[in-house]
């Protein structure tokens, strides 16, 4: 059964606000990662600062991760394994050069502790090409 937004926020220790719920539920309905301006466009009536702060909070609490493609940062919901200041989004991201969509490819995962002697806090693996819809 799908977890409710309230449950997910409780697990990640995020205080419920209307805007937070709306943004989370919107991110849940889309399949690709979204840029800040795309999210702002969808919530055009909302205060931009609030949207930005909401995404910052989500990122800190391990609810969304940021992906850098060509030049812009995009946000995508995390898996349940992420928690406050502990992201485990070690999967590949795929950027389509035609439709400019960026998607999470959880089937390709960078192995943990694969390089000894260093501490990896964050991983950005990006593949570029043409997606299945554009091919």
Q: Does 104 contact Zn ion by CB under 5 A? A: yes
Nearest to 72 by CA among 47, 44, 40, 42: 40
State which residue, 99 or 108, has the beta carbon closest to Zn ion: 99
Grouping H, G, I as helix, E, B as strand and the rest as coil, residue 110 is coil
Helices (H), 1-135: 5-11, 18-29, 36-42, 48-60
Residue of 82, 94, 95, 102 that binds Zn ion (CB under 5 A): 82
Q: Does 87 contact Zn ion by CB under 5 A? A: yes
State which residue, 49 or 113, has the beta carbon closest to Zn ion: 113
Q: Does 131 contact Zn ion by CB under 5 A? A: yes
CB 39 within 8 A of CB 19: no
Residues at the site binding Zn ion, with contacts judged by CB under 5 A:
65, 76, 78, 82, 87, 89, 96, 98-99, 104, 131, 134
């Amino acid at each position: 059964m799908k977890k409710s937004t309230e449950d997910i926020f409780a697990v990640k220790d995020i205080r419920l606000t209307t805007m937070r719920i709306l943004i989370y539920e919107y991110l849940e309905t889309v399949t690709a990662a979204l840029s800040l301006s795309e999210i702002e466009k969808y919530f055009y009536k909302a205060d931009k600062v609030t949207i930005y702060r909401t995404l910052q909070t989500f990122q800190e609490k391990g609810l969304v991760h940021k992906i850098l493609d060509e030049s812009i940062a995009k946000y995508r919901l995390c898996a349940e394994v992420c928690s406050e200041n502990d992201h485990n989004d070690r999967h590949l991201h795929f950027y389509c050069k035609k439709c400019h969509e960026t998607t999470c490819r959880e089937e390709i995962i960078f192995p943990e502790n694969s390089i000894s002697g260093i501490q990896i806090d964050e991983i950005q693996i990006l593949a570029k090409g043409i997606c299945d819809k554009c091919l």
